[in-house]
Amino acid sequence: MIKIGELSKVTGCSVQTIRHYEKEHLIASAERSEGNFRLYDEAAVEQLLFIKHCRSLDLSVPEIRQLLALNRSPGAQCDDVNRMMDRHIEQVEARIQELTRLNEQLRMLRRSCSNRRTVEQCGILRNLSATPVSSG
Amino acid sequence: MIKIGELSKVTGCSVQTIRHYEKEHLIASAERSEGNFRLYDEAAVEQLLFIKHCRSLDLSVPEIRQLLALNRSPGAQCDDVNRMMDRHIEQVEARIQELTRLNEQLRMLRRSCSNRRTVEQCGILRNLSATPVSSG
DNA sequence: TATAAACTCTATAACAACTATAGAGTCAAT
DNA sequence: ATTGACTCTATAGTTGTTATAGAGTTTATA
Ligand SMILES: [Zn+2]
Ligand SMILES: [Zn+2]
Ligand SMILES: [Zn+2]
Ligand SMILES: [Zn+2]
């Protein structure tokens, strides 16, 4: 049994994050020592790593909660997992497209000012004052 | 002089957002009518549209505050504007790269489950349980 | 003139996923 | 006995909004 500081080191999650996950019921309430310190076993390490892996893929806490619930019903069909992943992938791709458009506009804007101009003649500020291109 | 609801319609910013910008000192405190309603003129419309344009480019509130301050000192050099824009563009591009890597991993993960499997044999859940690929 | 609808006001909480802080308690070593 | 490292709870801050409650104002209608 390890304490929260060690769990933090082993998993790379901060101590506060671990306590936060407990409060959010992503991980079960830990056993306590006589002095009221949280105690964790190997299974807790595994579960926290699972959560960390999910978070590194930008899966949200509710999504992870759903995955954990499915993990607990091994006989169920995979359809729910797959639907969630598809939706999540869609959202990531939409965000990439959005940022890509944004990036083009920013570069265009940036080109409108050469260094050593004064603010008064600045193309960036002038363009920002003009009506934005519709982005819908 | 128009009231906040009309300013909201004209600019496309919500009423709460306008009040929020005032609290954050992005726009000046509006004049008030006898009944304590905020009153705006054409200049306020212009400034709010400027802010909206900036936000549509994901510029942060502090960044916009800096741009507005520069706008008020027309004799200054543009270097600060340019540095900020360069930094901002860098961050947007970094985020695009990050999401692109993420997307590849998500698609790989998604391929590891064909429909109609049970959760027990699910490649997605199994792979999420395994140690994540290092992404540094 | 009474009243209702539509608008506005302030203050406060929620969102997401943490991060940071304060103040107190626990434990191991000197 | 006391230091230092660790842990505990509770609370607030982050970012840019959005949503709500409860009260006041203005405009239109009966
Ligand atoms: Zn998602
Ligand atoms: Zn310039
Ligand atoms: Zn920025
Ligand atoms: Zn599956």
Query: What tokens appear for A63 in the block?
Result: 């999504």
Report residues of chain A scoring pLDDT below 50.
134-136
Q: Is the CB of B88 under 7 A from strand D?
A: no
- Residue B35, pLDDT > 70, answer yes
- Residue B28, pLDDT > 70, answer yes
A24: amino acid identity, one letter: E
**pTM listed for this prediction:** 0.85
Across B64-73, average pLDDT: 90
* Long-range CB contact pairs, A4-9, < 8 A, 24+: A4/A30, A4/A37, A4/A38, A4/A40, A6/A40, A7/A40, A7/A44, A7/A45, A7/A48
Q: What pLDDT score was predicted for residue A136? A: 32
Q: What pLDDT score was predicted for residue A135? A: 41
Which bases of chain D are contacted by protein, using any atom under 7 A from a CB?
6-10, 15-20, 24-26
**What are B94-134's pLDDT values in tens digits?**
999 999 999 999 999 999 988 778 888 889 998 988 765 54
Q: What pLDDT score was predicted for residue A84? A: 92
Nearest to B132 among A56, A75, A95 (CB): A56
CA of A135 to the centre of ligand 1 (A): 24
**What are B41-60's pLDDT values in tens digits?**
999 999 999 999 999 999 99
Four-point Cα dihedral B117, B123, B129, B130, nearest 10:
160
Q: How far apart are CA B74 and CA A28, in angstroms?
A: 59
Residues 6 or more apart whose CB falls under 8 angstroms from that of B125 comprise A67, A70, A71, A81, B119
Q: Which nucleotide is nearest to A58 (CA to C1')?
A: C17
Which bases of chain C are contacted by protein, using any atom under 7 A from a CB?
7-11, 16-21, 25-27
**What are B71-95's pLDDT values in tens digits?**
888 888 888 889 999 999 999 999 9
Q: What pLDDT score was predicted for residue B135? A: 41
Give the Cβ contact number of residue A60 at 10 Å: 13
